[in-house]
Structure 1
Amino acid sequence: MSILLPQCKDDDANIFRAYAEGKITYSDGKFLEDPIHLVNNKKIIAETYPKESGSFVLAGPYEKDAYKLQLKNFKIKSFSTETPGCKISADSLSIEIPDGVTYVIFNDITLK
C-alpha cells in the first residue's frame, strides 16, 4: 500500500489572495440576479452573487497591479471604506482597488 502525500511547489508561497467584502444598498431587486466580480488585468478572478441583505464576500488569486470590484448592469453612486486609494471608475460600473491592497471592506456601496 502506498500513500500519496501532497507536495507544495516552491512558488506556492508567493501566491496571494485578493479579498473584498461589504454591503450594497440597492432599491431594485433585480440587482440580486447579477454577479459581482473581482477583475485583475481584464480577467475575472472571483465571482459571487449578493445575499438578499446586499452583503457579499469575494476572494480570488492576486498577482500584481490594481484590480476592481465590478458590477455588470448597475452603476455605483458612492461607497465608503477605510482603504485609501479606492475610487469609482469612469463608467461607474466598478470600484478600482490600488495595487498592493489584498483585503478591502466596503462599509456601504450605494447604487444609482
Structure 2
Amino acid sequence: MSLDLPSPLADYVEANARLDVDGMLKPFQHDAVVIDNGKRFEGRPAIRQLLEDEVIPVKAIFMPDSVRQEGGAVVVEGPAHGQFPGSPLRFIYRFRLTSGAIETLEITV
C-alpha cells in the first residue's frame, strides 16, 4: 500500500527502512522533540542517541499502513518489525510539522 505522506515523513520512513540514522534525523528540526513511550528526547543529539540505542540494535523498521490528519498532527499507524520481543508490534506515530520539518513526534503502541 502506497501512502501519501508529507515529504519529511516519507523521508523518515524511507531512511528507517535502510536503518540510516543520519537519514532519519535529517527531516527533524534541530530542536525537535520525540516522545517515545513517555520518554522525552529533545534536540537532534538526544534523538540520535534514541535511534542508536533503541532502533538500530533491534533493526526496528516501521511500515506505515494508514495516515490521517488529526488536531493539527499527521497520524501515521502501522507495524514495526525487528529483532525485539513481540515483533511485529503496531505503533502510532503522531507528527507535528513546522516549516517543512518534523517539530515533534510522539510514538505510542
What is the TM-score of this pair, normalised by structure 2? 0.28
What is the TM-score of this pair, normalised by structure 1? 0.28
Q: Which of the pair has the greater relative contact order for Cα pairs under 8 Å at 6+ separation? A: 1
| Structure that is richer in helix per residue | 2
